[in-house]
């Protein structure tokens, strides 16, 4: 077991884990089991932990989560075939991924609206045609993704352009084409790639996404953050990026990541941090939770949120 000798409190005093000595303190310098710090020990309103200790804990917690997901993956011989061989699981993934991914991008469709459009072919008179097209298109894109994973295809420029073409079919005239103009990501100070550089940069991201790695969560987080920063399309970048991420996860026999629309603010914050200072730890941790939700669907343990 690893230990941390002491904790430096916010006011410069040294303290130890509560309940282990007089007044809830131990002698200065006592060794504290690192797991005991996992809940970010607090004394009153003072968080008694150094930045370095927090980083150690976050790193170790993340490693534990990743290992847990890897062990969960090993329980399943072929996740893609489990999805395709069980219509209820397949439909649940299609519903959750479609509803949440489109909602993150501003769709006003509710989850019941989305289910009616996807599975009952209902046309909703109180919702825009473009939103309903986007829902059906996302369903088609997921089915195409599943088929490509079964065929063991690699991520390629053709695959990415096909994802965009399907998603934007009937919605945008430039479906399946890289942008030919400058764009800005609304709400953040993050420069995107010059449109003339997009093809070259996409070649680099494709090489990254196809790398072999023992840490698919770290790789998918890295590829996702770079793809979204390039912003290769006029619209649909978030949805295409999440399809690529889930393609990578399924190819590695991990459950698709369910990024819920109510987590949008955290998702964007962690993505921005990864893009601006290279720290992917929070984004990777966030993806661990999203993948865990995917495994719940796979094991039929998911509950309504």
* Tokens linked to 103: 């909602």
Which residue's entry shows tokens 């420029």? 157
Residue 94 belongs to what H/E stretch? helix 87-104
Structure tokens at 123: 């046309």
Residues 233 and 241: beta-carbon distance below 8 Å:
no
- In whole angstroms, give the CA distance from residue 54 to residue 262: 26
What 3-state DSSP class applies to 32? strand
Give the largest Cα separation in the chain, rounded.
72
On whether the CB atoms of residues 163 and 137 are closer than 8 A, the answer is no
| CA 141 – CA 161 distance, rounded (Å) | 11
Closest CA to 144 of 117, 114, 120, 164: 164
Q: From CA 135, how far away is CA 109, in angstroms rounded?
A: 9
Q: Which of 138, 224, 231, 280 is catalytic?
A: 231
Q: Is 231 considered catalytic here?
A: yes
The dihedral over CA atoms of 234, 150, 70, 55, expressed in degrees to the nearest 10, equals -10
Place of tokens 């949805």: 239
Residues 6+ apart with CB under 8 A from 33: 1, 2, 3
- Cβ-Cβ contacts under 8 Å for 186 (sequence gap 6 or more): none
Residues with catalytic function: 231
């Amino acid at each position: 077991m690893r230990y941390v000798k002491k904790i430096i409190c916010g006011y410069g005093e040294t303290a130890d884990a509560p309940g282990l000595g007089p007044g809830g303190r131990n002698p200065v310098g006592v060794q504290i089991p690192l797991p005991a710090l996992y809940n970010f020990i607090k004394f009153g309103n003072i968080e008694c932990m150094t930045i370095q200790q927090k980083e150690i804990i976050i790193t170790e917690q993340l490693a534990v989560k990743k290992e847990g997901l890897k062990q969960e993956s090993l329980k399943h011989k072929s996740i893609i075939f489990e999805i395709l061989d069980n219509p209820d699981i397949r439909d649940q993934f299609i519903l959750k991924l479609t509803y949440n991914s489109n909602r993150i991008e501003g769709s006003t469709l509710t989850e019941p609206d989305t289910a009616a459009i996807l599975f009952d072919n209902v046309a909703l008179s109180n919702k825009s045609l473009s939103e309903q097209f986007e829902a059906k298109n996302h369903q088609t894109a997921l089915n195409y993704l599943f088929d490509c994973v079964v065929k063991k295809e690699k991520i390629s420029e053709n695959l990415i352009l096909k994802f965009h073409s399907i998603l934007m079919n009937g919605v945008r005239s430039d479906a399946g084409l890289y942008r030919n103009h400058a764009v800005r990501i609304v709400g953040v100070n993050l420069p995107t790639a010059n449109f003339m550089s997009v093809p070259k940069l996409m070649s680099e991201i494709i090489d990254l996404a196809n790398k072999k790695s023992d840490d698919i969560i770290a790789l998918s987080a890295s590829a996702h953050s770079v793809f979204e920063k390039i912003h290769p399309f006029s619209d649909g970048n978030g949805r295409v990026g999440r399809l690529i991420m889930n393609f990578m996860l399924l190819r590695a026999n991990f459950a698709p990541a369910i990024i819920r629309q109510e987590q949008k603010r955290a998702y964007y914050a962690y993505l921005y941090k990864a893009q601006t200072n290279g720290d992917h730890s929070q984004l990777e941790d966030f993806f661990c939770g999203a993948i865990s939700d995917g495994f719940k669907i796979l094991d039929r343990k998911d509950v309504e949120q």
